[in-house]
Amino acid sequence: MDKRLLLSQIEKNIHDCKKCILWEGTTNPVPGEGNPDSEVVFIGEGPGFNEDKQGRPFVGQAGKLLDKLLISIGISREEVFITNVIKHRPPENRDPLPSEILACKYWLDQQMEIIKPKVVVTLGRYSMARYMQNVKISEVHGNPIKIKSLVVIPMYHPAAALRRRSVLDSIEKDFQRNKEILKNPSSVFNIEGLKNEDEDPNQMSFF
Ligand code: URA
């Protein structure tokens, strides 16, 4: 079946979702948006004030920075798919609870199953934790890792980059460094030195 159709069905279901209490007091859910045929998916944390108002991911200040970072490597946001771990805005932008992340995983799993990206960029700790545990973002950011047939690139959250100059420098470098993979995901299978997650994750070395 058509990916767009399947994703729009999930969107409808997210609109009715009451798997956790986050829907209470929100204006709109934010399922995600972009090109369902993209080989690259960006996963953030959860909607903030502006995203909740518009029902679209990354449309506030952090989103403007994400747009700039994408443009810096010649990609427009329409070319990729952008979503979040959490689909409803947590009150006062608090961190999502483990139970909320678990409840919402149901939707993200389905989105990923439909889109089947080759590359996932995780933005911040919460989406990174979907793929790798017991690692520090300060140590692994910008380093692609292969998890079965998927390449995951952990990156800092753009909102963190807006707060600290050093993080902004890092995220800008990380985008440049991964430009080839992000522009041409099929090239990832030819990249030597990409570490495999089957190795002991506690001993995981990145290049
Ligand atoms: N921060 C996120 O993690 N996601 C958004 O959609 C907006 C800000």
Q: What is the pLDDT of residue 187?
A: 79
Q: What is the pLDDT of residue 1?
A: 78
Question: 96 CB under 6 A from ligand 1?
Answer: no
pLDDT string in tens for the chain (207-residue length): 799 999 999 999 999 999 999 999 999 999 999 999 999 999 999 999 999 999 999 999 999 999 999 999 999 999 999 999 999 999 999 999 999 999 999 999 999 999 999 999 999 999 999 999 999 999 999 999 999 999 999 999 999 999 999 999 999 999 999 999 999 998 776 655 666 665 544 334 332
- Among 22, 54, 84, 94, name the best residue to mutate to test ligand 1's pocket (greatest count of ligand atoms within 8 A of Cβ): 84
Question: 126 CB under 6 A from ligand 1?
Answer: no
- CA 76/CA 180 separation, integer angstroms: 15
Give domain limits for the chain.
3-185
CA of residue 59 to ligand 1 center, whole Å: 8
Q: What is the pLDDT of residue 200?
A: 43
CA of residue 193 to ligand 1 center, whole Å: 31
Closest C-alpha to 62, from 156, 125, 138: 156
- CA 77/CA 33 separation, integer angstroms: 9
Q: What is the pLDDT of residue 201?
A: 41
Q: What is the pLDDT of residue 199?
A: 53
CA of residue 47 to ligand 1 center, whole Å: 5
Question: 174 CB under 6 A from ligand 1?
Answer: no
Question: 62 CB under 6 A from ligand 1?
Answer: yes
DSSP string, 59-85: -SHHHHHHHHHHHHTT--GGGSEEEES
pTM to 2 decimal places: 0.93
Question: 127 CB under 6 A from ligand 1?
Answer: no
- Among 45, 65, 137, 162, name the best residue to mutate to test ligand 1's pocket (greatest count of ligand atoms within 8 A of Cβ): 45
Name the phi and psi angles at 155, rounded to 5. -130, 160
Domain 3-185 has CATH 3.40.50.11900: no
Q: What is the pLDDT of residue 189?
A: 64
Q: What is the pLDDT of residue 155?
A: 98
